[in-house]
Amino acid sequence: MESAAKTPKSLTLPWTTRITLWLLDIGLNLIMRKDGTVNRGLLKLVPLTPPSSEPINGVKTYDVVVDPTRKLWFRVFVPTQYTVEDLPEMVFCHGSGYIVASADTQLYDDFCRKFARELHVIVVSVDYRLAPEHRHPAQHEDGLDVLKFLDVEENRSKWLPGNANISKCFIAGDSAGGNMAHHVAVRASQFNFQQLQVQYILTLFETSPRSSVAEERMVNYFVAKKLMVVGLVSIQPFFGGEERIGSEIRLNGTAPVLTLKQTDWFWNAFLPLGEPYNRDHPVVNVSGRYAVDISKMDLPPTIVVVAGFDILRDWQIRYYEWLKKSGK
């Protein structure tokens, strides 16, 4: 059913924001070629942020290569003002239609830095392969492979700070990254992450039956630890379908960013070659007639963030309702 939530009647934005969104729209249209390819040369104008071993705004960053053959890597954001143990980990998937952006794009570096600082989490921002050069399921495979990489104790001890708690792992993403976060979480729920045996040596003092003197005894305890996805954060996730629904009709051409022409172009660049183009593909329309049954999957609790002037808001609300109907 459709949500009862109403789209706000008007949107007032600061002039600086309006100009930024206008330039973003122009930039998107310039890089999206009519033949379905992306003008990568023009993207060299997009500002990038290098890693910073010295903290900037309370967060230091560094890059880790997972697989050089497919240029899969991630950027780690460590909040330096929180030295307490047991910081959760957030694996973040960036947005931008699956066709542009990266973990070192200034926009997403700033975004993840703010997450790390304000949410007190260690952020792992995935730099996955982009469409149309690499189509589905390449991106989702990259996301799961980062989780597998972090599940290996040798990798984790080398590349993550000692206070990172992999048993409190969240998967998050915005826009296309929100779509990716969902599908990576589904894949992760079906993967048996290895169990890591971590030894704790505990000193016990006990009284011997033959003596009133307390004796010291060393006991080894083994506590099982493994990577566990405990939450999914889906920020304005990029979903769709063959049907044109309410918000797409109402907001197309009037929303501050994104049009149906652009979303259709993104899906056409992303969906696998050799298959009929169909926006009801389960990777696009997760709650549609070809939806994967998640009712028996061990998916984590999910928070869905919806914006009032997003043309895809009604698809996002459908996603939320589908999760609830599936018992999630």
Beta bridge partners of 231: 170
The string of DSSP letters for 268-297 reads HHHSPTTS---TTSTTT-TTSTT----TTS
Distances in Å between the alpha carbon of 311 and those of 40, 223, 305? 26, 48, 14
Under DSSP, the state recorded for 256 is S
Backbone angles phi, psi at 299, to 5 degrees: -85, 150
Distance CA 40, CA 318 (A): 34
Residues with catalytic roles: 175, 310
Is the distance from CB of 63 to CB of 49 less than 8 angstroms? Answer: no
Element of type H or E holding 79:
strand 72-79
Task: Tell me the C-alpha distance between 101 and 112, whole Å.
Answer: 14
CB half-sphere exposure, 159, CA atoms < 13 A: 23
Backbone angles phi, psi at 284, to 5 degrees: -95, -55
For 202-224, give the DSSP string: EEEEEE-TT-SSEEEEEEEEEEE
CA-to-CA distance for 90 and 168, rounded, in angstroms?
9
